[in-house]
Structure 1
Amino acid sequence: MNYYGAKELAQSFRTVRNNTITIAGEIPEDKYDFRAAEGCLSVGEILAHIAVMPRVQEQIHVVERCSSLASFDFMGLMGKLKTEVILPRTKAEVLELLRAEGDKYAAILEGASEEFLAEQVEYPEGMMPRSKSRFEMLMAPKEHEMHHRGQLMLIQRLLGITPHMTRQMEERIAAMRAQAGQ
């Protein structure tokens, strides 16, 4: 019995993406060029990176439907995506990219069958583990996005912005304290 399938995978991805879009909306456009340190992606580039990286899994599982990654052209695909990440974009364009790519990937997740999610994909020689389920691999963009969203939340703090999720938690705690004091 599987308690977490395509529907839940898509919904959890949408939740993560919606929170990323909220963060992207709260950062002023004039801060989209901000870099936390030399050599780091800018805010706008991090957001574009988040938006386009699910295409890796889309290419593997939907376009090519790979059963092995031994001959998959990671370097070619990553080069194309890197070029797209560094394209100059307005804040509105970044937000639209996040929305459109998020909707596209969530639809892919939602349409996956249990049989498809259970299929194993073999990794190249020398990599461990030797294989992963499509389910685990298709969940990777959400985990990747949460990693970068943590960076964005720290950048928000550096810019003097309290992240929305922190504000929401503080509001819930204040309400609980007020209720306990009554």
Structure 2
Amino acid sequence: MFILMIIMIFGTVEAPLFAQQNDFIKEYLERFENSRKYLIAVAEMMPEDKYGFKATQESLSFAENLMHIGYAMDWHSQSLLGGRESRDWNTDTRFKVSNKSKKEIIKIIEETFDETIRFIQQFDIAQFDEELDYFGLNRTKQQIFLLLVDHITHHRGQILVYLRLNGLVPPRYVLYQ
């Protein structure tokens, strides 16, 4: 009877927590997919001849911001959370703008979103409370998920300004991202 009581108590506490974490992934993926759609719409809107545009000399160009978003998505998901060795920014060429066309850059961003979404779908939510070193700060893996979308939003905000500085009206904001 005692063991049955323990199982019942554990079940009533564990099930809602597990459901909340599953809801987090479901809601996160919905938001992440909307973020993807909006970023791609912004990337499509900028004319290819303006992909080298910088708001200031020390700023990243429009194309560099896109590639930086891709690199950071890859790093946060595959390396920081997934344990894969990090790409070396100085030698890896996937996320370098170099002579990539607008079409090639957008394709890399799309592929990186696909890879990140597959990673998130397979992520073991039992790891959410594990802590990692995030630039000298202890952050849970769940916090890293949130930092990833914040980072995308930060750089997307910069390139939205780049559109305006080039006389373009950004695409209508996609809600819930």
How does the TM-score come out when normalised to structure 1? 0.74
Secondary structure of 1:121's partner? strand
Q: Which runs of 5+ in 1 are unaligned?
A: 65-72, 170-182
Q: CA deviation at 1:146?
A: 0.3
User: Which residue does the alignment assign to 2:35?
Assistant: 16
Task: Give 1:46-57 correspondences, 5 Å limit.
Answer: 46-57=65-76
User: Which residue does the alignment assign to 2:132?
Assistant: 121
Contact 2:132 2:139 in 1 (8 A): yes
Q: Which runs of 5+ in 2 are unaligned?
A: 1-16
CA–CA distance in structure 1, aligned partners of residues 44 and 54 of structure 2:
17
Q: CA deviation at 1:30?
A: 0.7
Partner AA of 1:27 in structure 2: M
Contact 1:156 1:163 in 2 (8 A): yes
What is the root-mean-square deviation of aligned Cα atoms in Å?
2.5
Aligned residue-pair number: 155
Q: CA deviation at 1:117?
A: 2.2
After superposition, the C-alpha distances for 1:16-72 in whole angstroms (9 at most, x for unaligned) are 1211000000000011011111121111111111112112222122134xxxxxxxx
Contact 1:5 1:114 in 2 (8 A): no
Partner AA of 1:149 in structure 2: R
User: Which residue does the alignment assign to 2:95?
Assistant: 84
Q: CA deviation at 1:81?
A: 5.9
User: Which residue does the alignment assign to 1:109?
Assistant: 120
In structure 2, relative to structure 1, the CA distance for the partners of 1:109 and 1:80 (3 Å cut) is: farther
Following superposition, which runs of at least 4 residues in structure 1 exceed 4 angstroms of deviation?
80-83
Secondary structure of 2:139's partner? strand
Percentage of pairs with the same residue: 22
In structure 2, relative to structure 1, the CA distance for the partners of 1:157 and 1:33 (3 Å cut) is: same
How does the TM-score come out when normalised to structure 2? 0.76
Pick which of 113-122 and 33-42 moved more: 113-122
1:155 equivalent to 2:155? Answer: no
Partner AA of 2:147 in structure 1: A
In structure 2, relative to structure 1, the CA distance for the partners of 1:117 and 1:81 (3 Å cut) is: farther
Please say which structure displays the higher CA radius of gyration.
2
Partner AA of 2:66 in structure 1: L
